[in-house]
């Protein structure tokens, strides 16, 4: 499973009487391995608290980028024998890899959260406001403003994609890549990172496969890829609204 949790559902503390819906969703679905983006801990729900909540997952790889509270994490029921960080240029976003032993096989799971577009609520509202005040001057202003912000993020993601793709090519083990790419299919980031891997949604999904939704903004930017050593058997995208992203789940057979 991969899930951008929107800071664990806006940092709601999980208790038995008042469960955090993001955490409860993961517990109820009980994946063998899950990758979290926007893994957040606080004074009220520490990393040790999260480890106790997910006690059925004795193996964890947690990485905080830039501060002690915000990062990325991979949890596994199978032993993690090696942990690494992909050296991408980023202030907050990050990518990691975990080598996981399953029976006689060792696989490498990449968990990625690439550069966000960093659109503020004001930025997101600009296209909506055009409906009420549409003219060439306003359209030009909105287009130029959004293009500048998005263009800066695209350039950073292109660098990140090149570096991550190199790590994937150099992996000594079979590879699964999961996470929030913050970019759409056919983008430079998508084609570079995917390479010749299977996009499990393309193999087994249907429709547009939207994974991010917020007002007018609806895109497929979260992915699960696998190399040719895996046979994808099952794929599910649950449209649960506990975050601004939908969780993705896949089942594989190792060849």
**Which residues neighbour 247 within 8 Å (Cβ) at sequence distance 6 or greater?**
1, 2, 3, 25, 26, 29, 237, 238, 240
| DSSP structural state of residue 115 | P
pTM of the model: 0.91
Q: 2-254: which CATH architecture?
A: 4-Layer Sandwich (3.60)
pLDDT tens sequence across 154-211: 899 999 999 999 999 999 999 999 999 999 999 999 999 999 999 999 999 999 999 9
| Model pLDDT for residues 122-157, shown as the tens digit of each residue | 545 556 666 666 656 555 545 554 556 656 788 999
**Tens of pLDDT along 8-55?**
988 899 999 999 999 999 999 999 999 999 999 999 999 999 999 999
CA dist 210 and 222 (Å) reads 9
DSSP reduced 3-state for 33: strand
């Amino acid at each position: 499973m991969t899930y951008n949790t929107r800071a664990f559902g806006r940092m709601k503390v999980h208790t038995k009487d008042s469960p955090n819906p993001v955490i409860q969703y993961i517990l109820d679905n009980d994946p063998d391995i899950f990758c979290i983006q926007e893994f957040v801990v606080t004074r009220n729900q520490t990393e040790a608290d999260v480890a106790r909540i997910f006690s059925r997952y004795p193996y964890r790889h947690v990485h905080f980028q830039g501060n002690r509270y915000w990062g990325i994490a991979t949890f596994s029921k199978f032993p993690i024998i090696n942990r690494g960080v992909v050296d991408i240029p980023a202030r907050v976003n990050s990518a990691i890899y975990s080598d996981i032993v399953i029976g006689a096989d060792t696989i490498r799971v990449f968990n990625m959260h690439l550069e966000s577009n960093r659109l503020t609520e004001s930025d997101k509202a600009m296209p909506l406001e055009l409906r009420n005040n549409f003219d060439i001057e306003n359209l030009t202003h909105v287009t130029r403003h959004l293009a500048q912000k998005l263009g800066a993020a695209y350039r950073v993601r292109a660098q990140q994609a090149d570096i991550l793709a190199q790590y994937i090519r150099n992996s000594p083990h079979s590879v699964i890549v999961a996470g929030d790419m913050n970019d759409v299919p056919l983008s430079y980031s998508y084609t570079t990172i995917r390479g010749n891997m299977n996009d499990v949604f393309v193999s087994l999904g249907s429709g547009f496969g939207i994974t991010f939704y917020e007002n007018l903004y609806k895109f497929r930017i979260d992915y699960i890829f696998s190399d040719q050593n895996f046979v994808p058997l099952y794929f599910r995208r649950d449209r649960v609204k506990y975050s601004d992203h939908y969780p993705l789940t896949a089942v594989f057979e190792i060849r």
